[in-house]
Amino acid sequence: MLRLALLLLLLLVESVSAEEPGLDASSPASRGLASPAIAAQDILAQIRSGEPLNYDNVTIAGLLDLGPGVEPVKQSIRITNSRFQGPLRIEAVTFAEVLDLRGCIFQDNVSFIKSRFQGDARFSGAKFMRQADFAETYFQGPASFISTLFQSDSSFGNAQFNGDAVFLDAGFASDVDFNYAKFLRSGSFWNANFEDVSFFETQFAGQVTFRSAQFRGNATFAATRFESDVLFREARFWKGSTFGLSSFGGLADYGNVGFKKTAFFGGVKLADLAYFTNARFDGDFILEGARLYSMQLDNVSFNKTSKINLNSTDFTKFVVHWSTMRDRMVYNGAAYLALVKNYKSLEWFDEADECYYQYRRIGQELAPWGWDKFSDIISWLSCGYGVRVSYTAFWCLFTILIFGIIFWAGKGMDKFVIEGVELPGDARLVPSKRVSFTDALYFSIAMFTTSQAPVNTYPVGVYRYLAMAEGILGWFFLGLFVVVLSAVLIR
């Protein structure tokens, strides 16, 4: 009897095990079949019924169209790691709870135009294979697009992000625009990849980061408002980058950024520090008409043909060494003089002199021939426009030397001889009237510095007029030397 009872119990256990679906050898999971398919109409019916949706790894076939005029969706919707085979048209729909579409693949066009997400909007890891339109969409809570891939055109134009907007590692393989969008809290585009992207008149009220982002097409940030700190550190702009008319209310960090083409910052307004340390410019850097509080360009590098345009730029502090700017500035007198003033305020006096000297040299080359240009040439040769005291010192020494040689070689001076006085001893000890080169040089120094000859020598013949000319030149060069040297020492 005991053996019979054990046999019956064993048969009962085997029959129950055979009825478990997870152990059924014919189930889709055990055979590795594709994810189950659900008709889009079934999803819509479940949404309209108010039942929460919670699907993972399913395939949704057909058009999913909520369309305008639909009642607010009050339940949470979670469809993750799934595939939408048809178009997704959800326009002007309000989601009161979480919309979770993480890891989903959208094979056709997707539209969330004018929809409102009052809860979290989760699209991380999603893949949009065709157009994705989030224009005029309202995100009340956090919007997560981490590692999301947009393979075709996409738009967030006029969208509003009231919560944090996270596009970390997102990829935009085609055109995308955030024109007129509003980011009222923080925004993160860290390590994002863009083709052509436009942030025209976009508002960033909180901190935003584009650190290590890759802009492979044209990047437009025209008239964008960065009301707090913005970080572009280590980003790369492979084509044109436009920040014209943008405003920066906080720190603008462009450290280690690479600009492969023209970087246009014309008309920007920087209320705080703009940090470009170790940045690389392979094209022109245009700051025309900009208003800068403080810009730091330490250790920046430029291509040989790159130019810097500071025309009509107004800056309080512009930290960049003249060695970086030399031969790169687009000539504009006001810009050069503003930069000279900037260097003096930084107490970089040598660099202020170098900048002023180049400004005057270029202005002289561009000026037409006339008295002004002639006087500029005299100013250049005599004292380096008032900033080269070495030029004046050279002319002083050169004048003394050349006149000394002339007086000596031309026998243009004699010594006084006292008649009636016989020198005792050997008659050969009577000095000759021919002066030595040392005496001629001494005579030249005396004429140059005091305009008076030494007591024992005097010029003869036409050399009297040369001595007078040297005296006049001496007064001119010595006066000039004192003025230029005083200007250097006083500062």
Residue 408 is part of a domain; what is its CATH number? Answer: 1.10.287
CA–CA distance, 371 with 216 (Å, rounded to integer): 54
Band (304; pLDDT cuts 50, 70, 90): very high
209-233 average pLDDT score:
97
Cβ-contact 433, 458 below 8 angstroms: no
Count of domains in the chain? 2
CA-based Rg of the chain, rounded to a whole angstrom?
42
Do 333 and 471 share a structural domain? no
Do 279 and 149 share a structural domain? yes
Do 289 and 147 share a structural domain? yes
Query: Tell me, what's the pLDDT at 133?
Result: 98
Band (434; pLDDT cuts 50, 70, 90): low
Mean pLDDT of the chain: 88
Question: Would the pLDDT of 31 be above 50?
Answer: no
Query: Tell me, what's the pLDDT at 71?
Result: 84
Do 413 and 318 share a structural domain? no
Answer whether residue 286 is part of any domain.
yes
Query: Tell me, what's the pLDDT at 24?
Result: 36
Do 78 and 198 share a structural domain? yes
Cβ-contact 296, 316 below 8 angstroms: no
Cβ-contact 126, 149 below 8 angstroms: yes
Largest CA distance in the chain: 172
Residue 4: Cβ-neighbour burial (10 angstroms; 0-12, 13-18, 19+): exposed
Band (26; pLDDT cuts 50, 70, 90): very low
381-386 average pLDDT score:
91
248-254 average pLDDT score:
96
Answer whether residue 312 is part of any domain.
yes
- The residue with greater pLDDT, 25 or 400, is 400
Band (421; pLDDT cuts 50, 70, 90): very low
Query: Tell me, what's the pLDDT at 10?
Result: 36
Answer whether residue 362 is part of any domain.
no
Do 73 and 128 share a structural domain? yes
Query: Tell me, what's the pLDDT at 455?
Result: 66
Q: Which of 283, 185, 180, 289 is nearest to 240 (CA)?
A: 283
Question: Would the pLDDT of 433 be above 70?
Answer: no
Band (28; pLDDT cuts 50, 70, 90): very low
Do 158 and 296 share a structural domain? yes
**Which range is least confidently modeled, 35-39, 230-234, 297-301?**
35-39
CA–CA distance, 193 with 320 (Å, rounded to integer): 31
Question: Would the pLDDT of 423 be above 70?
Answer: no
- Which domain, by its residues, includes 411? 389-418+433-490
**Which range is least confidently modeled, 78-82, 344-348, 429-433?**
429-433
